[in-house]
A = this chain, B = another copy of it.
């Protein structure tokens, strides 16, 4: 696929400043910008809607937030960095001394220059997140400090984007990213852009085998809402990808789906190996991102993630240092090309059925056999096309995945493709 680094870079700069959260106008604005890349539909689910064990929260709007010292100086200002305000902070306008304020101030223990990222989605609270220097400055104030948070928390809606891309088969692959993080670049903006460009690329490809369900949701509550709204469709999905933290300078890695032996995990390893990339394997963990929902008992979608500087693993995780200096568009583009390879592998993943299950097909009738017999001494390995034809007809029983058959034959999946196409063209194999 073509290099889209420049486009990604442009969108990174446009989307980075928006103060996304679970809900709100910046989320909708993010989705509308993504619509420039791929024609997703935007859905709204009202606050208060009951969703399984959850309730869609009120919509959060921020106009301003700051801590002003007695000399009128904004020591901490939301306008400088939207991470300064704890997400979902309730409004307050009050003057208080440091001792009272302190429990609402969050700083990072290891990174004095970083503003940490904090949220209080489901417990009404307020807070500020500051650098080490700001913390010192506030702590050294002997005069009272004025705290002003000009936010709304009221009935509104949760927004998500959805893009359904039909293929020849109506069997779907889920590709999900989350749009709820404010100004951080690796987590999760990099994943949002990768997903959008992956969707655009797939839209271009002709003869897609599978259908694709791309979703852009706030993490957790958004994914849960989406599951509930699309329960029947989601239950039918076997394999998914959660795209996040794909643009850091660190190590490639992938998180396995809950069934270690599921083909998706093997395919990802093939992608890395064929690209000669070293990578970290993260076994399935109950923590993580929205694969938690998709892997739950009701859905059990085998969901994996390819990442670069995976969430939890890099020191700038959930801080203001996860910014455009840390993430580069070209690295997002590189990871995109891995996802693209994976999608191509998924596209070549399919199940064939030998239409002549009883005895052999008459190979010569189908121009698959030399006319003069008697001479050849077939070899036990899959060296010739004829061998491949015979082995494929032996194994393609309408149940076993062709990738699994390739492994049985100790042959790269890719090398099977011409023969599979030939046999389908000759109406000997058919796809299930």
Contact = CB atoms under 8 A, between A and B. Distances in A.
Contact of A286 (B258, B287, B390): B390
A53 B389 CA distance: 15
Given A118-B373, A296-B358, A387-B287, A364 B123 contact: yes
Nearest to A285: B380
Which applies to chain A's interface (DSSP): helix, strand, loop or mixed?
loop
Contacts of A380: 282-283, 285, 287
A55 B361 CA distance: 11
Interface residues of A, number: 63
Interface string A64-98: 00000000000000000000001100000000000
A372 B119 contact: yes
B296 A378 contact: no
Contact of A224 (B224, B296, B360, B391): B360
Nearest to A373: B119
B286 A361 contact: no
Interface string A371-389: 1111101101000000100
The 7 tightest CB contacts between A and B, nearest first, are A298-B358, A287-B378, A123-B371, A297-B357, A286-B390, A119-B373, A293-B359
25 contacts: A52-B359, A53-B356, A55-B362, A87-B374, A116-B375, A117-B374, A118-B375, A122-B364, A123-B372, A125-B371, A223-B359, A228-B359, A231-B358, A285-B380, A287-B387, A292-B390, A293-B359, A293-B360, A296-B357, A296-B360, A297-B357, A297-B397, A298-B357, A299-B358, A312-B378
